[in-house]
Chain A
Amino acid sequence: MSYATEKLTEEKVFKDPVHRYIHVKDRLIWDLIGTKEFQRLRRIKQLGTTFLTFHGAEHSRFNHSLGVYEIVRRIVDDVFKGRPEWNDDDRLLTLCAALLHDLGHGPFSHSFEKVFGLDHENFTKKIILSNTEVNQVLRRVSDNFPKRVEEVIAKTSKNKLVVSLISSQIDADRMDYLQRDAYFTGVSYGHFDMERILRVMRPREDQVVIKQSGMHAVEDYIMSRYQMYWQVYFHPVTRSAEVILTKILHRAKALYEEAYQFKQAPAHFYSLFKGEITVDDYIHLDESIVLYYFQMWQWEEDEILSDLAQRFLDRHLFKYVEFDPAKEYKKLSELSILFLKAGIDPEYYLVVDSSSDLPYDFYRPGEEEERLPIHLLSKNGEVRELSRESSIVDAISGKRRTDHKLYYPANLLHDEGQHKEIKKQIRKLLDIE
C-alpha cells in the first residue's frame, strides 16, 4: 500500500460545533494535521479583532481549516464519488488543498499585510514548497505533490474543477466560515442549508455546478453571506480595533526606522521591519507573540506607541463618524491641520476606513470581469448562470455596497486641558459636539 492510499487503522474524529464531527481516515491528512505549521493555526484567530466586538469570536484558523477539509471530504466522498465527471485520483489533492488553504495566514493578517506588504497566499506557497514539516509529509506522496497542492490553492492549477471546490463564489471555504463565524459570534445570520447545497453539487469539466432544484438553498447562502459581511465582518467597532492595530504596527516600524531605543527590543519584528522576513521567522510569529509586545509597548517612552497599545489592550477604541470622501476630502485636509495644531498626530489618530462588498457577480461574455459565476444545471443538462434563473440573485448581482468611516480618539478631543479652542473647532467639524 502506498502512502497516498494508506488509511488509519481506525477512523479519527474531531468533535466540531459546526459540522458535528470531522472525519479523518487518510494517513496523509492525519500527518498533515500533526505538523507544526498546521498546529500553529491554533494560535491565529479566524476573525482577527472581531472578538473585541463579539466576545465569542475567539475561534482559530485551525478550526476553520478542519471545517473546510470536512466539507470537501463530504463532497468528494459522499456526492462526487462514482460520478463519471469526477476523477477519484484527484481526491487526495483536493483534501490536502482544502486543509492547507489558509496555512500562510499570520497573526492579524489583514493589518500585517497592509503595514509590512506581506501576502498570506505567498506564505502558504512558501510553507508548502520549502523545507517544512508540511512539505516533508506531502513529498511522501510524490516529489511534485507539494507543487500540485500549492497550484490548486493559488488557482494556477489546470484542474479547474478542483480549484472551484476550494475557491469560487460557492466554495467550501465560504460555506465553512459563514457558518462557523455565525456560530462563534452568536449572530442569527449566516445560516443556510449546507446539507442541501452539498447534495445538489455536481462535478463538471471545469467547475462545480448546482442542480436547478437547489437554487433556493443557494439564494439563502448568498443572502446569509451578504448579512454576515455587513453585520459581522464590517462591524464598525471591529474596524476601529483594526485601525488601532494597524497604527500600532506603523508606529513601531517608524520608531525602528528612526533608531528609537525600545525598552523591550522587538526582536520578533526585526525581519518584518527590514522587509526580509523568512518562512521560519513567519512561522514563529503568532498572536501570542504580537500581544506580548503590545503589553510591553504600553510602557514605552513613545507616547503614541504607548497610547495605541493601551487602547488596543483595554479596548478604548476610536469613535467614528460617517464620511463621504467625494464631498468631504477637503474637510479631511482641514481636520488634519487642526489635529496637528492640537498636538495630535493625524497620521495615527485620524483615519478613514472603507469597507466594500459585492455579494454576487457574474462574468458577462466579452466583458473584462474576472469572477466565475455560479451555474445551475437543469434537468435537460443545460447549464445557466444563477442570476438568469433567480430574481432574488438578479436583484443584487453586481451591486456593490461601500461604507466609509472616519475614526478619531474621542477622549483626546474632549480633553480640554490644552488647545481648548482648536479641539472645539475639530469637534464642530466632526459634528460631535
Chain B
Amino acid sequence: MLKDHAKIIHAIAASDEIVGRKKLQKMIYIAKKINYPFHEKFAFHFYGPYSEELTLRIEELCNMGFLNEIKEKKGGYYQYRYTLTESGTEFLELNKVNMPHLKDCLVDMNGQSARFLELVSTVLYFEDLPKEEVKEKIFTLKSKQRYTEEEINQAYYYIDTLNTKAAILS
C-alpha cells in the first residue's frame, strides 16, 4: 500500500537532499542494481537508464506534498532540488521502510557528480557485456560526454566499492 512511494521518500530522506533529476534517476537505478528492492522500471534513454515510472512517482510525491521540489535557474538550464517536507516525514513515520544501510550507499552516490553517475549507471546497464564492448558502447552512445578510459575504469571500481559496501553492511 503506497510502499513504492514510501521507498522513494525514504531514499530522499536518507540522502538529505538530491540536486538534479538526472542524479536522482541514476542514484535509484544504481541502488536497484546493487539489489535494493526498488520496483521502478528502467529503460535506456539519452542519459542512460531512465525510468518514466520514477519520474511519475516523484511528480506524485510533490503533488501529495511529501517532497519539496525547488526549480532553480542554473546558467542556460533549470535544475531541480528535492528534499522531504514535514508531511513526507510524517508519512514515512506511518509507512516505515526497511532497507538496511541504503543510506551509506546513497550518501556516497550523492557525493559524486551526475556525469559520473550517468557513466556508472550506463556501465551497470550493460553489465552482461564484456568490458571492451561496454567501453565501445559508451564511446559510441555517449560520444558527446567524452568519457575517457580512465573514467570508465573508475566507474567499474566504484561499482565494486558500492557492492562491497552494500554486501558488508547488509
Residues on A lying within 8 angstroms of B by beta carbon are 113-114, 117, 119, 121, 154-156, 158, 325-326, 329-330, 332-333, 336, 346, 350-352, 354, 356, 363, 365-370, 372, 400, 402
Chain B residues near A114: list those with CB within 8 A. Answer: 39
B137 and A156 within 8 A (CB): yes
Alpha-carbon distance between A356 and B2 when the two chains are bound, in angstroms:
15
B56 and A368 within 8 A (CB): no
Given A325-B2, A333-B94, A366-B76, are A354 and B44 neighbors across the interface (CB < 8 Å)? no
Chain B residues near A368: list those with CB within 8 A. Answer: 20-22, 47, 77, 79-80
A325 and B60 within 8 A (CB): yes
- Number of interchain pairs (Cβ within 8 Å): 69
Alpha-carbon distance between A336 and B141 when the two chains are bound, in angstroms:
48
Least distance between B57 CB and chain A CB atoms (Å)? 9
Give the most central of A350, A352, A356, A370: most B CB within 10 Å: A370
**Given A154-B43, A363-B46, 14 new contacts (CB under 8 A):** A155-B45, A325-B5, A326-B66, A329-B94, A332-B1, A354-B60, A366-B76, A367-B78, A368-B20, A368-B21, A368-B77, A368-B80, A370-B45, A400-B56
A330 and B56 within 8 A (CB): no
B50 and A402 within 8 A (CB): no
Partner of A154, one of B39, B41, B44: B44
| B156 interfacial by beta-carbon distance below 8 Å | no
| B91 interfacial by beta-carbon distance below 8 Å | yes
B44 and A156 within 8 A (CB): yes
Give 7 pairs: A residue, B residue, CB < 8 Å, sorted on A: A155-B45, A156-B141, A158-B141, A326-B64, A333-B94, A368-B22, A368-B79
Chain A residues near B46: list those with CB within 8 A. Answer: 363, 370, 372
A366 and B78 within 8 A (CB): yes
Alpha-carbon distance between A259 and B95 when the two chains are bound, in angstroms:
29
Give the most central of A154, A329, A351, A402: most B CB within 10 Å: A329
Alpha-carbon distance between A370 and B41 when the two chains are bound, in angstroms:
15
Alpha-carbon distance between A333 and B94 when the two chains are bound, in angstroms:
8
Chain A residues near B87: list those with CB within 8 A. Answer: 326
Chain A residues near B56: list those with CB within 8 A. Answer: 356, 400, 402
B44 and A329 within 8 A (CB): no
Least distance between B37 CB and chain A CB atoms (Å)? 8
Partner of A329, one of B50, B80, B91: B91
Residue of B nearest to A355 (CB): B56
Q: Which of B9-50 contact A (CB under 8 A)?
A: 20-22, 39, 41, 43-47, 50
Chain B residues near A400: list those with CB within 8 A. Answer: 56, 59
Given A330-B94, A332-B2, A402-B60, are A367 and B77 neighbors across the interface (CB < 8 Å)? yes
Chain A residues near B21: list those with CB within 8 A. Answer: 368-369
Alpha-carbon distance between A291 and B77 when the two chains are bound, in angstroms:
51
Alpha-carbon distance between A155 and B42 when the two chains are bound, in angstroms:
12
B41 and A119 within 8 A (CB): yes
Top 9 A-B pairs ranked by shortest CB distance? A366-B77, A326-B64, A370-B45, A368-B21, A368-B22, A370-B50, A158-B140, A366-B76, A155-B44
Alpha-carbon distance between A366 and B64 when the two chains are bound, in angstroms:
27
Least distance between B147 CB and chain A CB atoms (Å)? 15
Q: Which of B59-84 contact A (CB under 8 A)?
A: 59-60, 63-66, 76-80
Least distance between A43 CB and chain B CB atoms (Å)? 24
Partner of B1, one of A352, A365, A366, A367: A352
Partner of B65, one of A156, A326, A354: A326
